[in-house]
Amino acid sequence: MLKGGDTLGILIIQTYVIKPEKQEEYLSLLKRFRNYMKENPEEVKELKSWKVFAQMFGGASWGGYGELLEFNSLADFEKYVERAKKDEEHMKIYQGFMQVIVPATFSMNVWNTII
């Protein structure tokens, strides 16, 4: 249970399928973003954690990927996005990502922590 002063965070959950011929490019983009975060901590300061998962089996989008991005609040997520839009390297990585996914498979949802 939450105690006085505890805050509830949010998760941004993105799911998608990568085009079969773009798997290597996708992995390269993940590494590039990880390096970007290490080299530019001020640009991603609101991002508490980032995890990427590969689907092993089950569901309609077999072979899919999922990302979990954790923030303290929706306001922090909005700050992060606004700063990212102004950062050339961040936008290059994002645009590269949008080129390797199967567009109809992309989903982004915001989940609120309750406990």
Q: What is the per-residue pLDDT across 20-36, written as a single tens digit (0 to 9) for each?
A: 999 999 999 999 999 99
What percent of the chain stands above pLDDT 70?
A: 89
Q: Which of 76, 78, 79 is CA-nearest to residue 7?
A: 76
pLDDT over threshold 90, residue 57: no
Please report the pLDDT score of residue 5 as a whole number: 46
Residue 27, in any domain of the structure: yes
Longest CA pairwise span in the chain (Å):
51
- Write down the pTM of the prediction: 0.85
pLDDT over threshold 50, residue 2: no
Please report the pLDDT score of residue 114 as a whole number: 84
Are 69 and 9 within 8 A, CB to CB? no
> What's 45's domain CATH number?
3.30.70.100
Residue, of 6 and 114, whose pLDDT is higher: 114
| Structural domain for 38, as ranges | 10-112
Q: Which of 64, 68, 61 is CA-nearest to residue 18?
A: 64
Residue 4, in any domain of the structure: no
Q: Structural domain tally of the chain?
A: 1
* DSSP structural state of residue 5: T
Report the chain's mean pLDDT, rounded to a whole number: 91
